[in-house]
């Protein structure tokens, strides 16, 4: 339950990071989306998500789709009392709330990538469908003991490099492609910097996210086992540190400046990269995985820019690219490293790519051709806060427009 609270706190980190790296005129819009995601995400997870994700696949099932019914219904003892032996060390209620926090995170990743130009109504519809249905069905394939867990060499994803981060990352990629870039992002085919309005807030967001990862990875041990929990937290922190340092070094060599935002995204890349195998790695393995993730971030951000995919916060590079790297790293480093495990990791990455790309494209494309997903040019230039929310995040600090 303590780890659940830490993962909940990550939503503040995501909110701070997103508003810090975007412009002042869209702050209310981003905060509204983040609050919507956590509130509606939890309600959806209670109504259908938890029982879609943990359906209790029957013997001989394909392990692709199952549903244990609507709502929450804790196991009872023969005497009708609450069964506290649901799992060793935690109850049914703890399990629901911990997993519910993860579910909301997947849509938050998309929120950052589509910031500053998506209509809020279609985004809310997308969130309801993606968090309510797609995320739990995909999650059941591994964490719900589905077909990826039934393999001779089971796919392994300890805390969600693929199940959480890539699931959000694939949807972010599709959404950014369908939306198009922000006005002014590309001039004569070359990417232009659109600076965020509050880098101190973005920095605070990254540090809060790192703190939240103590719950994200630490809680995924699913017990208070001192040996495994402490190892997991050590590998998590070393990967984060290595990711940040290497991203800072590589970006300095490439761009000849000490870029704080690249440093921050390197930390997040290291965290995402270690998440799939945090309980399986030695400290040295963790540093290598984090360091590679940090280097990947710099090149991925550059590549995404060259492809004219406008991602204001670097969500695709951090959550998708480093999520794939971390998932594959389980087959290369640590206790499970083997050729068979690497193949199983590839199968898992491919399976999640398929469901996420297809489902997010179908949802967003239908929204695009029916109600439209992009705000008007006037709304984008003047800011979404005034047009969609009728308020200003900093009314006493409005800059003189002349």
Q: Among all chains, which residue has been given the structure tokens 């101190």?
A: 200
Whether 220 is in a domain gets the answer: yes
What's the rounded Cα separation, in Å, for the pair 129 and 363? Answer: 8
Whether 180 is in a domain gets the answer: yes
Q: Is the pTM of this model over 0.85?
A: yes
* Count of structural domains, the chain: 1
Would you state the structure tokens that stand for residue 99, as one six-digit string?
Answer: 């997993």
The 10 Å Cβ neighbour count of residue 301 is: 24
Cα Rg, the chain, nearest whole Å: 21
Tens place of pLDDT per residue across the chain (402 aa): 999 999 999 999 999 999 999 999 999 999 999 999 999 999 999 999 999 999 988 888 889 999 988 998 876 655 655 565 567 778 888 899 999 999 988 889 999 999 999 999 999 999 999 999 999 999 999 999 999 999 999 999 999 999 999 999 999 999 999 999 999 999 888 889 899 999 999 999 999 999 999 999 999 998 888 999 999 999 999 999 999 999 999 999 999 999 999 999 999 999 999 999 999 999 999 999 999 999 999 999 999 999 999 999 999 999 999 999 999 999 999 999 999 999 999 999 999 999 999 999 999 999 999 999 999 999 999 999 999 999 999 987 755 443
Q: Supply the CATH number for residue 28's domain.
A: 1.10.3430.10
Whether 56 is in a domain gets the answer: no
Do the Cβ atoms of 20 and 70 come closer than 8 Å?
no
How open is the CA angle 195-391-26, to the nearest 5 degrees? Answer: 20
Q: Among all chains, which residue has been given the structure tokens 């995400």?
A: 41
**Which of 56, 154, 136, 153 shows the shortest CA–CA distance to 355?**
136
Residue 62 DSSP class: -
Would you state the structure tokens that stand for residue 73, as one six-digit string?
Answer: 């219904």
Would you state the structure tokens that stand for residue 279, as one six-digit string?
Answer: 């309980």
355-399 pLDDT per residue, tens: 999 999 999 999 999 999 999 999 999 999 999 999 999 987 755
Would you state the structure tokens that stand for residue 330, as one six-digit string?
Answer: 């389980």
Whether 75 is in a domain gets the answer: no
What's the rounded Cα separation, in Å, for the pair 82 and 134? Answer: 30
Can you list the alpha helix ranges (DSSP code H) found in 256-338? 260-275, 283-306, 315, 322-329
Q: Of how many residues is the chain composed?
A: 402
Do the Cβ atoms of 22 and 196 come closer than 8 Å?
yes
Average pLDDT, the chain: 93
What's the rounded Cα separation, in Å, for the pair 253 and 196? Answer: 23
Whether 77 is in a domain gets the answer: no
Do the Cβ atoms of 130 and 359 come closer than 8 Å?
yes
What's the rounded Cα separation, in Å, for the pair 236 and 269? Answer: 11
CA distance readout (Å), 210 to 218, 267, 275:
12, 8, 12
Whether 85 is in a domain gets the answer: no
**Phi and psi angles of residue 44, each rounded to the nearest 5 degrees, phi first:** -65, -40
Whether 192 is in a domain gets the answer: yes
In 123-269, the DSSP E strands lie at 186-187, 190-191
Question: Which helix H or strand E contains 249, and what residues bound it?
Answer: helix 226-255
What's the rounded Cα separation, in Å, for the pair 267 and 286? Answer: 13
What's the rounded Cα separation, in Å, for the pair 364 and 394? Answer: 32
Question: Which helix H or strand E contains 217, and what residues bound it?
Answer: helix 199-218
Whether 58 is in a domain gets the answer: no
- Domain of 175 in residue numbering reads as 2-45+97-397
The 10 Å Cβ neighbour count of residue 400 is: 4
What's the rounded Cα separation, in Å, for the pair 168 and 127? Answer: 11
């Amino acid at each position: 339950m303590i780890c659940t609270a830490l993962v909940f706190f990550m939503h503040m980190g995501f909110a701070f990071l997103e508003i810090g790296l975007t412009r002042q005129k869209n702050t209310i819009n981003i905060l509204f989306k983040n609050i919507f995601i956590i509130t509606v995400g939890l309600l959806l997870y209670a109504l259908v998500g938890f029982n879609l994700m943990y359906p209790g696949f029957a013997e001989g099932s394909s392990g692709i789709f199952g549903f244990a019914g609507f709502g929450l219904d804790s196991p009872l003892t023969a005497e009708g009392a609450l069964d506290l032996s649901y799992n060793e060390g935690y109850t049914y209620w703890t399990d629901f709330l911990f997993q519910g926090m993860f579910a909301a995170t997947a849509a938050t990743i998309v929120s950052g990538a589509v910031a500053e130009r998506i209509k809020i109504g279609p985004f809310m519809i997308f969130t309801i469908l993606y968090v309510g249905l797609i995320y739990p069905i995909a999650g059941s394939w591994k964490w719900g003991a589905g077909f990826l867990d039934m393999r001779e060499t089971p796919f392994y994803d300890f805390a969600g490099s693929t199940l959480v981060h890539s699931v959000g990352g694939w949807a972010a990629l599709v959404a950014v492609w369908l939306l198009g870039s922000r006005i002014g992002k590309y001039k004569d085919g070359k990417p232009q910097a659109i600076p965020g309005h509050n880098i101190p807030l973005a920095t605070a967001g990254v540090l809060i996210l790192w703190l939240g990862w103590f719950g994200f990875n630490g809680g995924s041990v699913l017990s208070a086992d001192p040996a495994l929990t402490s190892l997991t937290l050590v590998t998590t922190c070393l990967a984060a540190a290595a990711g940040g340092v290497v991203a800072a070094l590589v970006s300095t060599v490439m761009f000849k400046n000490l870029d704080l935002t690249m440093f921050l995204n390197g930390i997040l890349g290291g965290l995402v990269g270690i998440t799939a195998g945090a309980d399986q790695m030695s400290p040295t393995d963790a540093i290598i995985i984090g360091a590679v993730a940090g280097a990947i971030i710099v090149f991925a951000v550059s590549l995404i820019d060259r492809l004219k995919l406008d991602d204001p916060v670097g969500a695709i590079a951090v959550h998708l690219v480093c999520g794939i790297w971390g998932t594959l790293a389980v087959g290369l480093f640590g206790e499970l490293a083997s050729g068979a495990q690497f193949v199983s990791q590839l199968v898992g990455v491919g399976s999640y790519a398929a469901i996420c790309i297809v489902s997010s494209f179908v949802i967003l494309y239908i929204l695009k051709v029916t109600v439209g997903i992009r705000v008007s040019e006037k709304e984008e230039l003047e800011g979404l806060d005034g047009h969609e929310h009728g308020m200003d995040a900093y009314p006493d600090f409005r800059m003189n427009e002349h």
